[in-house]
Amino acid sequence: MDLIGVRVEMPANTPVVVLREREGRHRTLPIVIGTPEASAIHAALSGVVSPRPLTHDLVVTIIGDLDATVEQVAITTLRDHIFYAEVHLRVAEEVRIVSSRPSDAIAIAARVGCPIVASEALLAEAGQVPPAPSDDAEAIIDEFRDFLDDLNPDDFRGG
């Protein structure tokens, strides 16, 4: 999965992290997250370095100091409208799996650059297929461009 970014859904002003399937149908997986986690993911994607370590930076430092590495983050399940995730850690020759909220797992993945995965079953259940481009969409855009070209400042004056 590719981490597309964080957006805010209106009108509820709800942060959503968006993942997209790299191959195949390029389905998206939108996951509602908290505002602090949205900020943490956005900061990592933007390359913002805090003068003091934020929580996810601290977790990454602890993992490294324990000679472990993050192999991958897996978005595993959707149950009762709640997503679940795992962080897969390699510690010596052993893989340890730690249960996590997707937002925290993704914030860690954004910092270490590890893969983010989701199962086919989860994508079949919660993935959204992007709409195919259509001639109608292009016609609407052309019509809007024509509208903008014909705008006159006098059109906005009150009567």
Choice between 149 and 86, residue whose per-residue pLDDT is larger: 86
Burial of residue 152, with CB atoms counted within 10 A of its CB: 0-12 exposed, 13-18 middle, 19 or more buried: exposed
pLDDT of residue 11: 86
Domain containing 102 equals 2-131
Q: Spell out the residues 6+ positions from residue 85 whose beta carbon is closer than 8 angstroms to its own.
A: 73, 74, 75, 76, 99, 100, 101, 102, 104, 105, 106
Write out the two tokens for 149.
Answer: 């070209």
| Residue at 38 is within a domain | yes
135 has pLDDT over 80: no
| Residue at 136 is within a domain | no
Question: In total, how many domains does the chain have?
Answer: 1
| Residue at 157 is within a domain | no
| Residue at 21 is within a domain | yes
| Residue at 154 is within a domain | no
| Residue at 49 is within a domain | yes
| Residue at 125 is within a domain | yes
64 has pLDDT over 70: yes
Q: What is the CATH number of the domain that holds 18?
A: 3.10.690.10
* pTM of the entire predicted model: 0.81
107 has pLDDT over 90: yes
| Residue at 153 is within a domain | no
